[in-house]
Structure formats: C-alpha cells, structure tokens
C-alpha cells in the first residue's frame, strides 16, 4: 500500500534520521568506554519484553485482517474486489447449458440495493473468477420475474441466477460446470455494459445463444419505466442452435410459413452443420407438449406483465431457420430528423463474437481496452438512420 506521506517529506525525514544516528555513533566512539557500551546493551529482560510486544503486534494485525475479511463490507458485491458466493443449485436447461443459482456466502443487506441500482441503469454483468488459472469471465444475471422461482426472502438475501453455456473452449464455463452444490464462487461487479438512456422508447435486441440473458435485462430495465404516457417497446430476435434452449417458444411476428435460409447459419463456421429438422420450407413451429424452457418462461412472464410491449421471434439452427437481412429490415427502418435529434431507438446485439461480427461487425481492442469498432454486417447494410447501435 502506498504511503499517504508526501514524497518530499519522507525523503527529508529519512536523511535527518540517518544524520542524527551517525552523529551519535561518532560521539559514542570518541567519548564512551567499552564499559559504558556494555551497560547500554539490551538486557535479556528487555529483549523478552520487545519480543512480547512484537508478538502482540503481529497477533493484533492478524486479528484485524480477519475481522476485516469477515466484516459486512466484505460480503457486498463491489467492482474492486472479489466477493464469495455459494452455489445453491445448477439445473440443466439443455445438453450444453445450465441455470446457476448463487447466494452471497456472508449475508449483507446492501446487495439488494446494489442490484436494483444496476437494473435501473440498463444491462450489467459480473465477473466470475477461475481460481486455478486466475482468469475471469463476465456473465449477465437474469432479472427476477415470476418465472425465476425465487422467493421474496431469497431476493432480499441477494440471490443471483445465470444462464451459462458450457463452451468447449471456455476455461471459466467448463470450470463452473464441474462445481457441486455448496461450492464457493468468487464474483466481482456490477459492471454496466450498456446504460439505456431515459429517452429510449424502442429496443430491437438481436441475441445469439446465451446472449438472451442481456435481452431479458434490457427488457426488464426498459419496461420498468412504463407509465400512463410512456409505453416503451422491445422486440427480441433470438437465434439458438438447439430447440431445447427455447423449448415451447412460439414466434410473434414471423409468417405462418418461413422459408429455409439458403445462406446457412453463422454457427456453421464455428460448430459445423446441425440436424435437418426442417425440409422444403415447412414451418414446424408448434407448441411442445413438454414444459417450456426456463428462458421461454421468462420471456412469457415479461409479455404477461407488459401486454403489447414485448414481442419475440425464435430462429433455430437445428431447424435450418436463420436470421437474415429481410428478417431485420421490417424492424430497422430509417427514422427521419436532423443530426441533433434525440435518438429514441436502440439496437443491441449480444452473443458470441462470431454472431456479433456477422450482425454488426467485430468489436476491437485498442490500448488494452475493448471498443465498439465501426458498424458493419447486416445492420450496416440496412442503413439504421435514427437508431443507436451497441454491441455487448
């Protein structure tokens, strides 16, 4: 820890101390006898007293460090240090993803307020630590809705839930999927990924895979601003590899018959082709007899809470149904107005790097910081005048 003493003061103090000690040494050398030197030497009792003082000091410092570690402040989620959480449950959502439920290891009344402030701001994340490799990965908490199954007490105690896919190349996600119930997980945050301006009236959220979690956050933050005179809207376009991820989901705006895309999915270059569940352009969008997946229940709860303000369309690589330029064109229409006009429309893109690059161009790194980079991809081709675009 750096000293708060000014550098100039520290230097002058050190020099004067060294000169004083040197002067005393020289005086003792010229005026003191060997007997007086022996008389001034520490006695065994004085040595024991100094050892006792040193021991007490070390013990006090150690005790203080322990108390600080167990203090309420150490149990509050914060962006500076990692806070310990406990894994309450890990429920499979699909063959490759799970729902993680965590609670703070040490109770703190402040966590609920910390979460709420982040929810009001917009889209936010927390960093998970992989302790063996000392690396981190940011994940987006799911908002608390009727579908989450959390009780009021659990909400007040600071429970968090995450939709996490097991990436075969992801060190952190693979580590998380090895943990058993009760394991400690260290989190740091919150980090505001995208602050949604107060003037926002419409959001088009394009999500790939687990990028749906930020879409739920954006919907939660935006729709909570609903009043009698302000009814913001959000349309979510969700591309998944597997039907299991969005089991029971039925699109709101797609035509009754959807043509199979000839271009293939952005997933193809990363994972290879999927099964041919759909042939000859036949739409197989039917309600599944099985219980809808957790994320679909979340989306339906949001639609029930804000009728007429939320719409969702599902695209499945497994069924050869991919997001194309024409699918987005009906939503991304240029908005008139001058350069200084307030932008009330927002396009958010979230998902794996390949998905973001395909839709809006890649993000870039410069001087150790990740930047948005120029707008490219399908969205650029649609000339989104009057729309702000943000890559998550």
Q: Confirm whether 208 is domain-assigned.
A: yes
**Does residue 361 share a domain with residue 334?**
yes
Domain boundary among 171, 192, 213: 192
> Phi/psi at 274 (nearest 5 deg)?
-100, -175
> Which residue matches tokens 């999500």?
207
Residues 158 and 185 in one domain: yes
How sure is the predictor about 258, in pLDDT bands with cuts at 50, 70 and 90?
A: very low
Q: Which domain holds residue 162?
A: 75-192
Confidence band for 289, pLDDT divided at 50, 70 and 90:
low
Q: Is residue 159 part of a domain?
A: yes
Mean pLDDT of 14-18: 36
pLDDT score of 47: 56
Higher local confidence (pLDDT), 118 or 273: 118
Residue 250 labeled ligand binder: no
Average pLDDT over every residue of 181-201: 95
Q: Which residue stretches of 148-273 are H helix?
A: 152-156, 171-176, 212-223, 268-271
| Same domain as 349, residue 271 | yes
Q: Residues 207, 187: one domain? A: no
pLDDT at 257: 40
- Weakest mean pLDDT among 15-29, 35-49, 77-91: 15-29
The residue-averaged pLDDT of 50-67 equals 53
Check pLDDT > 90 for residue 138.
yes
154: its two tokens: 């659990």
123 is an annotated ligand-binding site residue: no
The predicted pLDDT at position 25 comes to: 39
> Are 164 and 303 within one domain?
no
115 annotated as belonging to a binding site for a ligand: no
Q: What is the CATH number of the domain that holds 132?
A: 2.40.30.10
pTM of the complete model: 0.72
pLDDT on residue 152: 76
How far, in Å, CA of 195 to CA of 193, rounded? Answer: 7
More confident residue, 58 or 15: 58
Domains identified in the chain, total number: 2
Q: Are 390 and 194 in contact (CB under 8 A)?
A: yes
Among 164, 192, 220, identify where a domain stops. Answer: 192
Does the structure show a pLDDT above 50 at 10? Answer: no
Clarify whether residues 208 and 104 are in a common domain: no
Q: Are residues 300 and 246 in the same domain?
A: yes
Say if residue 341's pLDDT is above 50: yes
Which DSSP string corresponds to 115-184?
HHHHHHHEEEEEEEEETTTTEEEEEPBPP--TTT---HHHHHTT-EEEEEE--TT-HHHHHHTTPPTT-E
Q: Does 384 lie in the same domain as 236?
A: yes
Q: What is the band of 11 on the pLDDT scale with cuts at 50, 70, 90?
A: very low
């Amino acid at each position: 820890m750096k000293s708060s003493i000014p550098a100039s003061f520290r230097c002058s103090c050190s020099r004067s101390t060294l000169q004083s000690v040197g002067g005393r040494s020289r005086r003792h050398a010229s005026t003191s006898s060997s007997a007086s030197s022996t008389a001034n030497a520490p006695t065994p009792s004085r040595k024991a007293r100094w050892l006792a003082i040193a021991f007490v000091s070390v013990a006090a410092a150690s005790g203080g460090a322990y108390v600080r570690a167990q203090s309420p402040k150490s149990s509050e989620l914060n962006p500076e240090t990692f806070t310990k959480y406990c894994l309450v449950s890990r429920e499979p959502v699909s063959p490759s993803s799970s729902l993680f439920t965590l609670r703070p290891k040490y109770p703190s009344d402040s966590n609920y307020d910390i979460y709420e402030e982040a929810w009001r701001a917009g889209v936010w994340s927390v960093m998970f630590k992989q302790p063996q490799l000392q690396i981190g990965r940011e994940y987006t908490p799911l908002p608390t809705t009727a579908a989450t199954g959390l009780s009021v007490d659990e909400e007040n105690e600071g429970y968090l839930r995450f939709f996490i896919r097991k990436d075969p190349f992801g060190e952190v996600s693979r580590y998380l999927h090895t943990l058993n119930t009760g394991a400690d997980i260290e989190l740091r945050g919150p980090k505001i990924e995208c602050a949604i301006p107060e003037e926002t009236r419409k959001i088009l959220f394009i999500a790939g895979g687990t990028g749906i979690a930020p879409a739920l956050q954006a919907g939660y933050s935006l729709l909570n601003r609903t009043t009698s005179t302000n009814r913001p809207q959000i349309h979510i376009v969700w591309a998944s590899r597997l039907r299991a991820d969005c089991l029971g989901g039925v699109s709101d705006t797609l035509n009754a018959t959807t043509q199979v895309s000839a271009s293939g999915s952005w997933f193809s270059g990363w994972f290879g082709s999927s099964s041919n569940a759909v042939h000859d352009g036949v739409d197989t969008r039917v309600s599944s007899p099985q219980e809808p997946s957790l994320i679909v229940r979340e989306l339906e709860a949001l639609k029930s809470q804000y009728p007429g303000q939320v719409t969702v369309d599902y695209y499945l690589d497994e069924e050869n149904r991919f997001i194309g330029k024409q699918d987005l064109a009906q939503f991304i229409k240029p908005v008139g107005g001058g350069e200084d006009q307030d932008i009330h429309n927002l396009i958010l893109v979230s998902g794996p790097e390949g998905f973001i690059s395909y839709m809006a161009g890649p993000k870039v790194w410069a001087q150790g910081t990740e930047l948005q980079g120029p707008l490219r991809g399908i969205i650029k081709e649609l000339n989104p005048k009057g729309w702000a675009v943000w890559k998550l």
